[in-house]
Structure 1
Amino acid sequence: MEAFNASTSSKAASYQSNSVLQLHYNYTGKLDEDRYMDGLKPGNICFLFICLLIVVENCVVLVAIWRNKKFHMPMYYLLGNLTLSDLLAGFTYMLNIVLSGRNTLTLTPLLWFLREGGVFFTLAASVISLLAIAVERYATILNMKTHRRTKCNRILALIVASWALSLLLGVLPVLGWNCLRCLSWCSTVLPLYAKSYIFFCVFMFMTVLLAIVLLYGRIFHFVKSNTQNPARNQHKGFSRRSQKYMVLLKTVTVVVGVFILCWMPLFVLLLLDFVCPVKSCPVLFKADYFLGVAMINSLINPVIYTLTSRDMRRAIVKLLFQRCLMTREGRMRKIAAAFPQCSFTKMEANPRGMETSISSGNATTVHVKPIYPKLRVSVVS
């Protein structure tokens, strides 16, 4: 019992000892460079700016989903969950950069674990969110008559499970899966992490991505085969739903493809870290550039939503430029002609108590109420 208490006390002390962190960095050869002697470099400042853009972009997408009732449906809940993980990734990247360089050597192992664990946590949240979207799409496409309540319960379960698993993965090193007691097990890229933990994370991420690719392959095959079936095509409801699913699938498939392109270089680097003996692979000391490429993924995702989803594009333009496109009386300004893809279909209340529904198109119906409830104006543009 006394030996156990002594071991626990020693382990707790190592989590708070800055000298332990410096010992690990020195062992892996990272202290041989001058990067831990200087403050933020121009490259780090550039990465900070990218992180700020990541936070702003994903905030805009989240607000657009929240304010537009058209997006209050299960599929967009999962898309919003993915956006939230990207937003949090921007914050964690920012903290990681601010606390890197010279500040790294002032951290305790516990703070270091929290710094790096945040990145693994948000990365896991993004990957598992992509898997949750694939699972939900696969379950929906197999049974298009799923009740909304059952579907919402399934979405909620997927979201809760994704964050729970991500949190567990991020805190595993703090719970003991680290190399504080054995330097020979340590990673070069992340000197306090055990190589086995890093290999486990990369293996899990690759397995999840493979499962996503297989699920989307099954979905595309199912939709394509049923769309080409003459008996199925006679049902307009099925055809419309299939087209809608295909549009959403294309959007999410592009997101998955970009994720793989951005993160694969870092995954390969971490696998190289697993097999390379200490100080034998110089490329491992350039991990910041690989992480920078991975960061671009969270920056590109909101752009993908905007370019591939017409409804999302309308919602974002409306959110950002509504005051420029609409007058106080609820009429469209002339500048709105520059946004032919935009449609304002939500009832907008103006200060005079009038609600206007405005839509662009060849034959547009404009409703004005409640002062003139019977007035119905057709505008041909």
Structure 2
Amino acid sequence: MTEESLVSPSWLGQDSTTWASGGGGPLDNSTGLGTFPQEDIYTPSQLPLLVNPWDIVLCTSGTLIACENALVVLVIWQNPSLRAPMFLLIGSLALADLLAGLGLVLHFTCAYLLRSDSAQLLTVGLVVASFSASVFSLLAITIDRYLSLYYALTYNSERTAAFTYTMLVLLWGLSLFLGLLPVTGINCLEEEASCSVVRPLTKNNVAVLSVSFLLLFGLMLQLYVQICKIVMRHAHQIALQHHFLAATPHYVTTRKGVSTLAIILGTFAACWMPFTVYSLIADYTYPPLYTYATLVPATYNSVINPLIYAFRNQEIQKALWLVCCGCVPSSVAHRARTPSDV
């Protein structure tokens, strides 16, 4: 059997193949992944396939991501009242995460059934484009929230809607470009030594994605700091009018809103930062376990996004209640929007 005939069903290249030996061959205990028997007596189609449990975890995460975000997309799509810039950006985030979840499921299916490099390139390209759109949508939501506070009097103008559409076109165009890079030839299929921790992406490709993420995270951090300053300044001005800062309900809810912003940013960093940093310092020679251990938490960000940005929103909550039971509880219908909803 020649090396060229072997097709890796995993994300991580030939060293992480999950084929098991037909005659009960040994397993590599360092990664928990199968190895080939020494006798070349089987063709690839005859070799039994041992599924990598980490790939099962990624596929399961993808299924959860797809189902959860499909509900958000459906609710926003079916409700004409949810057409404000804020909801368009939340819908963009949900659509990106939905495609990312589908990409994870398709990659698992194609890798273990088709075992084709072409299918691998397409599914990895879809995953890259989708997760890029997800991160860009998070940045767009942050920009929108900043503008809604800084330009509160003119935020609801047509200019804001035009700016939102421009952001959507740019973020999806750039995401599509990044996703097409592996498909159009910028991959490591011809030169294994140039592979990154995620095959078939090259080390340079992943480095560009990682550095871009760090820059976007820095920009989001700066914007959220400015948002916190604006919210706290407004709360302080209102509290002074009541002559008792600590006792005002608005001050309490504002402090809760600032805590919410910290949770949003902290969750985003906790999910993506390990994989981003690891991608910069590692290459294909590193143990596959490390890649999976950092990649899986990154996918969890797409599980958490609907909980933070969609299901907490009062208008989306009403739409969900109408879809599920045809009514809206009074506790949801009459809840006033507070700074904790930022």
**Equivalence for 1:342:** 332
| 1:132 aligned partner | 140
> Is contact 1:251-1:304 (8 Å) kept?
no
Counterpart Cα distance in 2 of 1:40 and 1:286: 18
Q: Is the 8 A contact 1:30 1:285 kept in 2?
A: no
> 1:161 aligns to what?
170
Any conservation in 1 of the 2:107–2:120 contact (CA below 8 Å)?
no
Q: Which residue of 2 aligns with 1:143?
A: 151
The residue correspondences of 1:1-381 to structure 2 (distance < 5 A) are 19=5, 29-31=15-17, 33-34=33-34, 38-40=49-51, 44-45=55-56, 47-100=58-111, 102-103=112-113, 106-108=115-117, 110-146=118-154, 148-187=157-196, 189-229=197-237, 254-274=263-283, 279=285, 281-282=286-287, 284-305=288-309, 308-322=312-326, 339-343=329-333
Higher relative contact order (CA 8 A, sep 6+): 2
Q: Residue 293 of structure 1: CA displacement?
A: 2.3
- Deviation per residue, 1:16-59 (Å, 9 max, x gap): x965966xx99863347417962545654454344333222212
Report how far residue 88 of structure 1 moved: 1.0
Deviation at 1:166, TM superposition (A): 0.5
Letter in 2 for 1:92: G
Percent identity of equivalent pairs: 28
Say which SS state the counterpart of residue 341 (structure 1) adopts. helix
Letter paired with 1:318: L
Greater alpha carbon shift after TM alignment, 202-211 vs 28-37: 28-37
Displacement, 1:286? 4.7
Cα distance between partner residues in 2 of 1:98 and 1:124: 22
C-alpha distance 156-265 of structure 1, shift in aligned 2 (>3 A):
same
1:209 and 1:63, CA in 2 relative to 1: closer, same or farther beyond 3 A?
same
Aligned residues: 299
Q: 1:244 to 1:150 in 2, by over 3 A?
A: farther
Equivalent pair of 1:51/1:93 in contact (CA under 8 Å): yes
Describe the shift of the 1:222–1:246 C-alpha distance in structure 2 as closer, same or farther (beyond 3 A).
same
Tell me which structure has the larger Cα radius of gyration: 1
Q: Any conservation in 2 of the 1:180–1:192 contact (CA below 8 Å)?
A: yes
3-state SS in 2 of match to 1:228: helix
Unaligned runs of 5+ in 2: 18-27, 37-47, 243-250, 337-342
Q: Does the Cα contact within 8 Å between 1:28 and 1:191 map onto a contact in 2?
A: no
User: What's the TM-score, normalizing by structure 1?
Assistant: 0.66
Q: 2:235–2:254: 8 Å Cα contact kept in structure 1?
A: no
Would the aligned equivalents of 1:317 and 1:342 in 2 still touch at CA under 8 Å? no
CA contact (8 A) 1:138 1:215 kept: yes
Deviation at 1:62, TM superposition (A): 2.1
Query: What are the Cα deviations for residues 278-307 of structure 1, in whole angstroms up to 9, with x where unaligned?
Result: 53x32x345334333222222222223466
Pairwise CA distance, 1:69 = 4.8
For the aligned residues, what is the CA RMSD? 3.8
TM-score (norm 2): 0.73
Contact 1:121 1:169 in 2 (8 A): yes
Query: Secondary structure of the residue that 1:72 maps to in structure 2?
Result: coil
Name structure 1 gaps, 5 residues minimum.
1-16, 235-241, 326-335, 344-358, 362-381
Contact between 2:210 and 2:280, CA under 8 Å: does it hold in 1?
Answer: yes
Read off the aligned partner of 2:224 and give its amino acid letter: Y
